[in-house]
Structure 1
Amino acid sequence: MARKPVQSQTYNIAVVGQAGRLSYEALILAASLREMSPDFKGRLLVMEPQPGPLWKSDPRIQAADIRAALADLGAEIIPFDSRYFGSSYPYGNKIEMLGALPKGEPFVFFDTDTLITGALSDVPFDFDRPGASLRREGTWPIPQLYGPGYAGLWKSLYDMFDLDFDSSLDLTQPDEYWQRYLYFNAGFFYYRCPHVFGEKFLEYALAIRDNPPVELCAQSFDPWLDQIALPLVIHALGGGKDSLPPGLLDGSITCHYRLLPLLYARESDHAIQVLERVTAPNRLKKVLKGSEAVKRMVYQSRGHKVRALFDQNDLPRKEQALRNRIKKNGFWIR
């Protein structure tokens, strides 16, 4: 059961910012935070991977105008080192950056492709009970014809880390249906201490990558590794699906749009209005025009041509169908 709202919460927001698309997304997120949640009192920390042997090229935000614009919006760029993932698995950034966040201070991590569309003060975080995004599809695991089913695959992981499997199950869902088993999108997650969360996240992710249970021999870990480890971490720390009331994050307060063509294809009119309002000021427009996707989708209004391809009351159930239609009509851009 959801807890009552906690008043006047102070916590840090963390996102990963690096060269390329993510730097522009981080700037849009920062602008939407300041516009839509002006009472947010915490720090906005843009976590930046540093160059090293695990990166094929320098991952830092190269553009001085983007760095300056982030600073103007009150964001702080915080460096961290990549010791385990880097170019081979960039999703590992969200695991490794946790160790560079302030120890013992509550945090909320958001993917950079997130818009703040309402007041974060309306979200009753209970930082003692971690949670994560439930806006996901059944992307992992993929049970094989002669192998274990969902239960056997997931149980092998819970057993690996000496976690109680049965208490993780959603018994309102049928046996061998993917939603019976704890599974999140890693688009947001939160806890009272990033170091405690991060150490467990790293331990589980590396163990799964390097020494998986035999039951998982036919399963792919790329790009799913973070989302395989995440429910185990949340369960181990006492969280779950019910840690937040539904409809707030990934709902009225935030929008995880993934890519701009998908935002215009399926997100709310309100989300589109927020995007276009926060990107309109000339000081940001000059910077954001450096992104071809922002320039075409937002400033050249191609996003509205994408939206016209879809009936908002009858959207395809699968994201791939959205992508295919956008590509077929020549509007796809990352």
Structure 2
Amino acid sequence: MNKHPNLLIVAQSGRLEYEAVIFMASLRAQSPDWTGKVIIAEPQPEGAWSGHETRISDPCRELLTEMGAQITPFVAHHFGAAYPQGNKIEALALLPTNEPFVFFDTDTVITGPLDGVAFDFDRPSASMRREGTWPLPPLYGPGYAGIWKSIYDRFGVPFDDTLDAAQPDEHWERYLYFNAGWFFGADPAEFGRRFLDWARALRDDPHDELACQVMEPWLDQAVLPVVVRSFGGGRPGPELAGLDGDVTCHYRKLPLLYALQSDHAITALEAAVAPNKIKRVLRDWEPARKLVYQEKGRDKVRPVFADRTGRTPERMIRNQLKAKGWWLV
């Protein structure tokens, strides 16, 4: 039996197919001993994606397959174009039942040996690289505790042991909140079924405590902590420090990579996509052509943020990039 879990990313026509090339190229370059399957879920232009061109282009498809990815089509029935983040929820059904899995957002670069991460699939977890984006408690309540507890209670999941006692009451970090950029579990079938059922329930029938909450685009992140806890999981421990650390980097958009991320992450990405067979495909994508191959990311974008201190909200960074004409996505 393969000792490595199955990896899942989602790709479709446009930006995601090029990010998938970066993901695969960096995985092969930085984690050459990785032997697990890499499944790329490809939504089809039907169902909830009807009317949209979603199929991966031939050049990207050929390159991804050459690098060992298994491109697997699926039809989205519940989210699709109305909520693209739902792809990751529905795509879990593609994975082999009862085989451990790790999901990554496609805008992730592998920067170190992924096989060195000590995943404990009996204790699922997810990325803590997030800001306090959800919920936004209304002035007259309920507060963070009331909103979060209402979701746990609705689905019969313990709540009190998810609290971080080191954080004060009603501070957003006291409550279990993940970025859905990576998460893992033991059985994608059961994990995905629960994720899908509960996400649809909150979307279609929000209870009273959610009346003032905007669920889009935060629906997946509102549900994920409750799903993780329902399987006995929680916050990632030190054994997972390489994720969002020395082993993976969730860069979100290429301009943000050059504005915010480490020299190590940038060097890993640039080295991974340097081979001519990858360059021939990626240079058709404007962000890669200008920021990576024409070196504008290093020469123009990075110097603007070289003196940045503290935790500047990502929204402000995006606005600066747009103002200077470097928001290439």
Normalized against structure 1, the TM-score is what?
0.95
1:307 paired with 2:298, answer: no
Runs of at least 5 residues in structure 1 that lack an aligned partner in the other structure:
1-7
Q: Look up the match of 1:150.
A: 144
User: Secondary structure of the equivalent of 1:99?
Assistant: helix
Mapped partners of 1:53, 1:39: distance in 2: 38
Taking only the aligned residue pairs, the percentage that are identical comes to 52
Q: Check conservation: 1:25, 1:112, Cα contact below 8 A.
A: yes
Runs of at least 5 residues in structure 2 that lack an aligned partner in the other structure:
none
Alpha-carbon RMSD across the aligned residues, in angstroms, is 1.3
Mapped partners of 1:199, 1:244: distance in 2: 29
User: Secondary structure of the equivalent of 2:182?
Assistant: strand
Q: Against the structure 1 CA distance between its residues 244 and 316, is the aligned structure 2 distance closer, same or farther, given a 3 Å change threshold?
A: closer
Q: Report the alpha carbon displacement of residue 65 of structure 1 after superposing the two structures with TM.
A: 0.6
1:65 paired with 2:59, answer: yes
Equivalenced residues, count:
327
Q: Aligned runs of 1:64-103 on 2, under 5 Å? A: 64-103=58-97
Mapped partners of 2:10, 2:325: distance in 1: 30
User: Secondary structure of the equivalent of 2:49?
Assistant: coil
Normalized against structure 2, the TM-score is what?
0.96
Q: Look up the match of 1:162.
A: 156
Mapped partners of 2:96, 2:309: distance in 1: 44
Q: Look up the match of 2:328.
A: 333
Amino acid at match of 1:124: A
Mapped partners of 1:243, 1:100: distance in 2: 28
Q: Look up the match of 2:19.
A: 25
CA deviation digits over 1:281-321, x for unaligned, max 9?
A: 11111110111111111111111111000125625521112
Q: Check conservation: 2:4, 2:115, Cα contact below 8 A.
A: no
Which of residues 106, 112, 134 in structure 1 aligns to 2:106?
112
Q: Against the structure 1 CA distance between its residues 183 and 31, is the aligned structure 2 distance closer, same or farther, given a 3 Å change threshold?
A: same
Which of residues 133, 140, 144 in structure 1 aligns to 2:134?
140
Q: Report the alpha carbon displacement of residue 245 of structure 1 after superposing the two structures with TM.
A: 2.9
The 4+ residue runs of structure 1 with deviation greater than 4 A are: none
Which of residues 8, 11, 18 in structure 2 aligns to 1:14?
8
Mapped partners of 2:251, 2:55: distance in 1: 22
Mapped partners of 2:260, 2:199: distance in 1: 32
Q: Report the alpha carbon displacement of residue 92 of structure 1 after superposing the two structures with TM.
A: 0.3
Q: Look up the match of 1:3.
A: none
Q: Look up the match of 1:278.
A: 272
Amino acid at match of 1:196: E
1:317 paired with 2:322, answer: no
Q: Against the structure 1 CA distance between its residues 46 and 244, is the aligned structure 2 distance closer, same or farther, given a 3 Å change threshold?
A: farther
